[in-house]
Amino acid sequence: MILCMSVHTFTVLHVVISLLGILSGAVVLSGMLGSRRLERWTHLFLATTMLTSVTGFFFPSDRILPSHVVGVVSLVVLVVAILALYANRLAGAWRWIYVTSAILALYLNVFVAVVQAFLKIAFLNALAPTQSEPPFLIAQLVVVVLFIALGIVAVRSFHPEVNAF
Protein backbone atom coordinates (compact mmCIF):
# COMPACT_ATOMS: atom_id res chain seq x y z
CA MET A 1 0.00 0.00 0.00
CA ILE A 2 2.80 2.43 0.88
CA LEU A 3 4.40 1.84 -2.52
CA CYS A 4 1.19 2.91 -4.26
CA MET A 5 0.91 6.23 -2.38
CA SER A 6 2.43 9.47 -3.49
CA VAL A 7 4.97 11.04 -1.16
CA HIS A 8 2.50 13.86 -0.49
CA THR A 9 -0.31 11.47 0.47
CA PHE A 10 2.05 9.46 2.64
CA THR A 11 3.27 12.66 4.32
CA VAL A 12 -0.30 13.71 5.10
CA LEU A 13 -1.03 10.26 6.54
CA HIS A 14 2.16 10.40 8.64
CA VAL A 15 1.28 13.86 9.95
CA VAL A 16 -2.28 12.82 10.84
CA ILE A 17 -0.98 9.77 12.70
CA SER A 18 1.61 11.95 14.49
CA LEU A 19 -1.02 14.48 15.54
CA LEU A 20 -3.27 11.68 16.80
CA GLY A 21 -0.31 10.40 18.81
CA ILE A 22 0.29 13.83 20.33
CA LEU A 23 -3.39 14.42 21.08
CA SER A 24 -3.95 11.00 22.60
CA GLY A 25 -0.66 11.30 24.50
CA ALA A 26 -1.82 14.58 26.01
CA VAL A 27 -5.03 12.88 27.15
CA VAL A 28 -3.05 9.96 28.63
CA LEU A 29 -0.71 12.40 30.40
CA SER A 30 -3.71 14.26 31.78
CA GLY A 31 -5.04 10.95 33.09
CA MET A 32 -1.68 10.18 34.72
CA LEU A 33 -1.72 13.54 36.47
CA GLY A 34 -5.11 12.58 37.93
CA SER A 35 -4.01 8.99 38.67
CA ARG A 36 -6.52 7.69 36.13
CA ARG A 37 -5.95 4.86 33.70
CA LEU A 38 -7.46 5.69 30.37
CA GLU A 39 -7.16 2.34 28.63
CA ARG A 40 -8.56 3.21 25.20
CA TRP A 41 -6.62 6.47 25.05
CA THR A 42 -3.49 4.63 26.16
CA HIS A 43 -3.91 2.00 23.43
CA LEU A 44 -4.45 4.76 20.85
CA PHE A 45 -1.44 6.72 22.11
CA LEU A 46 0.93 3.76 22.08
CA ALA A 47 -0.28 2.52 18.68
CA THR A 48 -0.20 5.90 16.92
CA THR A 49 3.13 6.87 18.45
CA MET A 50 4.63 3.54 17.38
CA LEU A 51 3.13 3.98 13.92
CA THR A 52 4.50 7.53 13.73
CA SER A 53 8.01 6.25 14.36
CA VAL A 54 7.69 3.33 11.97
CA THR A 55 6.21 5.35 9.11
CA GLY A 56 9.01 7.90 9.49
CA PHE A 57 11.43 5.31 8.13
CA PHE A 58 9.52 5.05 4.84
CA PHE A 59 10.36 8.55 3.62
CA PRO A 60 12.93 8.55 0.83
CA SER A 61 16.47 9.10 2.12
CA ASP A 62 19.93 8.07 1.03
CA ARG A 63 21.49 8.45 4.48
CA ILE A 64 20.68 8.25 8.17
CA LEU A 65 19.07 11.49 9.33
CA PRO A 66 18.48 12.88 12.83
CA SER A 67 14.82 11.93 12.35
CA HIS A 68 15.86 8.28 11.99
CA VAL A 69 17.79 8.46 15.26
CA VAL A 70 14.77 10.00 17.02
CA GLY A 71 12.60 7.27 15.49
CA VAL A 72 14.84 4.50 16.83
CA VAL A 73 14.98 6.09 20.29
CA SER A 74 11.21 6.49 20.26
CA LEU A 75 10.66 2.84 19.33
CA VAL A 76 12.99 1.65 22.11
CA VAL A 77 11.21 3.90 24.62
CA LEU A 78 7.82 2.63 23.43
CA VAL A 79 8.89 -1.00 23.82
CA VAL A 80 9.88 -0.21 27.42
CA ALA A 81 6.51 1.49 28.03
CA ILE A 82 4.61 -1.44 26.54
CA LEU A 83 6.59 -3.97 28.59
CA ALA A 84 6.05 -1.96 31.77
CA LEU A 85 2.35 -1.60 31.13
CA TYR A 86 1.28 -4.91 29.63
CA ALA A 87 3.93 -7.48 30.59
CA ASN A 88 4.78 -6.17 34.04
CA ARG A 89 1.40 -4.57 34.79
CA LEU A 90 2.95 -1.49 36.43
CA ALA A 91 4.07 -3.56 39.41
CA GLY A 92 6.70 -1.97 41.62
CA ALA A 93 9.25 0.10 39.71
CA TRP A 94 7.46 -0.66 36.45
CA ARG A 95 4.92 2.07 37.32
CA TRP A 96 7.43 4.90 37.19
CA ILE A 97 9.27 3.24 34.30
CA TYR A 98 6.01 3.25 32.33
CA VAL A 99 5.20 6.86 33.19
CA THR A 100 8.70 8.03 32.32
CA SER A 101 8.90 6.12 29.05
CA ALA A 102 5.38 7.10 27.94
CA ILE A 103 6.08 10.77 28.64
CA LEU A 104 9.45 10.55 26.90
CA ALA A 105 7.73 9.06 23.83
CA LEU A 106 5.21 11.91 23.86
CA TYR A 107 8.02 14.44 24.30
CA LEU A 108 9.86 13.03 21.28
CA ASN A 109 6.71 13.45 19.17
CA VAL A 110 6.30 17.03 20.36
CA PHE A 111 10.02 17.72 19.83
CA VAL A 112 9.68 16.62 16.20
CA ALA A 113 6.47 18.63 15.82
CA VAL A 114 8.33 21.77 16.94
CA VAL A 115 11.15 21.01 14.50
CA GLN A 116 8.65 20.52 11.68
CA ALA A 117 6.75 23.68 12.64
CA PHE A 118 9.93 25.74 12.35
CA LEU A 119 10.68 24.11 9.00
CA LYS A 120 7.22 24.35 7.44
CA ILE A 121 5.46 27.38 8.93
CA ALA A 122 6.73 30.49 7.18
CA PHE A 123 6.45 32.78 10.21
CA LEU A 124 8.43 30.41 12.42
CA ASN A 125 10.92 29.59 9.68
CA ALA A 126 11.65 33.30 9.25
CA LEU A 127 12.46 33.50 12.97
CA ALA A 128 14.83 30.52 12.90
CA PRO A 129 15.71 29.40 9.37
CA THR A 130 18.64 27.20 10.48
CA GLN A 131 17.05 26.09 13.77
CA SER A 132 20.08 27.35 15.67
CA GLU A 133 18.58 30.78 16.38
CA PRO A 134 17.24 31.80 19.81
CA PRO A 135 13.49 31.46 18.98
CA PHE A 136 13.92 27.79 18.07
CA LEU A 137 16.19 27.07 21.03
CA ILE A 138 13.81 28.86 23.42
CA ALA A 139 10.83 26.93 22.04
CA GLN A 140 12.62 23.61 22.50
CA LEU A 141 13.82 24.62 25.98
CA VAL A 142 10.27 25.52 27.01
CA VAL A 143 9.02 22.16 25.70
CA VAL A 144 11.69 20.12 27.50
CA VAL A 145 11.24 22.02 30.80
CA LEU A 146 7.47 21.56 30.56
CA PHE A 147 7.82 17.82 29.95
CA ILE A 148 10.32 17.39 32.78
CA ALA A 149 7.97 19.18 35.19
CA LEU A 150 4.92 17.24 34.00
CA GLY A 151 6.91 14.01 34.15
CA ILE A 152 7.90 14.58 37.77
CA VAL A 153 4.31 15.37 38.73
CA ALA A 154 3.01 12.37 36.77
CA VAL A 155 5.45 9.94 38.42
CA ARG A 156 4.31 11.22 41.82
CA SER A 157 0.61 11.26 40.91
CA PHE A 158 0.05 8.12 38.87
CA HIS A 159 -0.76 5.30 41.28
CA PRO A 160 -3.36 3.12 39.58
CA GLU A 161 -4.33 -0.26 40.88
CA VAL A 162 -1.65 -2.81 40.08
CA ASN A 163 -2.61 -5.50 37.54
CA ALA A 164 -5.49 -3.40 36.20
CA PHE A 165 -4.44 -3.61 32.55
**Has residue 153 been placed in a domain?**
yes
What's the rounded mean pLDDT across residues 58-77?
96
Is the distance from CB of 17 to CB of 47 less than 8 angstroms?
no
**Has residue 53 been placed in a domain?**
yes
Q: Which domain holds residue 26?
A: 2-157
Which phi and psi angles does 142 have, rounded to 5°?
A: -60, -45
- Quick one: pLDDT at residue 161? 74
- Quick one: pLDDT at residue 93? 97
Closest CA to 53 of 121, 118, 106, 115: 106
**pTM of the entire structure?**
0.94
Closest CA to 110 of 154, 155, 45: 45
**Has residue 163 been placed in a domain?**
no
State how many domains the chain has: 1
Whether residue 119 is predicted with pLDDT greater than 90 in this model: the reply is: yes
**Has residue 165 been placed in a domain?**
no
**Host H or E run for residue 54:** helix 39-56
Whether residue 163 is predicted with pLDDT greater than 50 in this model: the reply is: no
* Mean pLDDT (the chain, rounded): 95
Q: Return d(Cα 111, Cα 143) in angstroms, integer.
A: 7
